[in-house]
Amino acid sequence: MEKTGITIYGCEKDEEDMFRRYSPHYGVEPTIIKSAVSAENAALASGNCCISVTHKTEIALSTLRALKENGVAYISTRSIGCNHIDIEAAEKLGITIGNVAYSPASVADFTLMLILMSIRNAKSVLCRADVHDYNLCAVPGRELCDMTVGILGTGRIGQAVIDRLKGFGCRILAYDSKAEYATLGELLQQSDILTLHMPLNADTYHIIDRKRIHSMKHGALVINTARGSLIDTEALVRALEIGRLGGAALDVVEGEEGIFYHDCTNKPIHNQLLLRLQKLPNAIITPHTAFYTEHALQDIVENTIQNCLEFERGKR
């Protein structure tokens, strides 16, 4: 039986191991490309109509054209979100875009960790302990059972966060652009903690802007494990610096491209908002890693293969 070829771009070692482990089971022959997809290396996909890409790289018209010229008809992104791909350009070129689902527990668990770290001043506690200062923090922590948590976005991940929060006894408010449980205004005004789980699109870009930040409870905490541009970062940083908000825990940040997933130890970082955030004692930054669990990685790899095979079957 002839194997189906899939070109896997931007493939890290852990993903490569899983693609090589699961591909034989599905009758697939993966072509592993460590570098991200680009117009310059699109020819490496020649012979395979299906490719897989990562969410870490923007895929613009020039790259899509080059892929089309090399016979690519289907792009499966190894992510839930597709905002890194020029969808409109892909449609005009006749290239189909698919995404993957993976264990919502990965991001939901990480979100809960960030919430708990934020309400217990974990960044300050750990930094002080690192320099052998074992005094109690000047400000005591808070308990979730005394707080209201607002959930922006109630898809699979948002719902998984809600399921976990129920065990803590806190009050939960939820808002989704497709189904309202509370109005956005009510949620912002009443929530001690705001956690974002929406896709990024034209309607949700900067959904948390300066005006909405101003309408939030004084001292509220913001958690974002979805996409950086859901928040107007300049407005968020300003609100944190003047004490309007109590803290933020961000796994995603505007302008993270080219910084997150790279060792920048000895490199200059030009994202001034990120640098300002990291200097704040009440801001926790993690490098877009909430999804990164063994379980989720397996889901991503297997669903990528299945997506490509389904497209091939439909094409035939």
Residue among 15, 55, 78, 256 flagged as catalytic:
256
User: What residue type is 225 in one-letter code?
Assistant: T
Residue among 78, 197, 288, 312 flagged as catalytic:
288
Residue pair 250/227 in contact by the 8 Å Cβ criterion: no
Sole residue written with tokens 């070829």: 5
State yes or no: is 262 an active-site residue: no
Residues in the chain: 316
State yes or no: is 256 an active-site residue: yes
State yes or no: is 25 an active-site residue: no
Residue among 84, 227, 254, 302 flagged as catalytic:
227
Positive or negative, the CA dihedral 122, 127, 128, 130 is positive
Q: Which residues have a catalytic role annotated?
A: 227, 256, 288
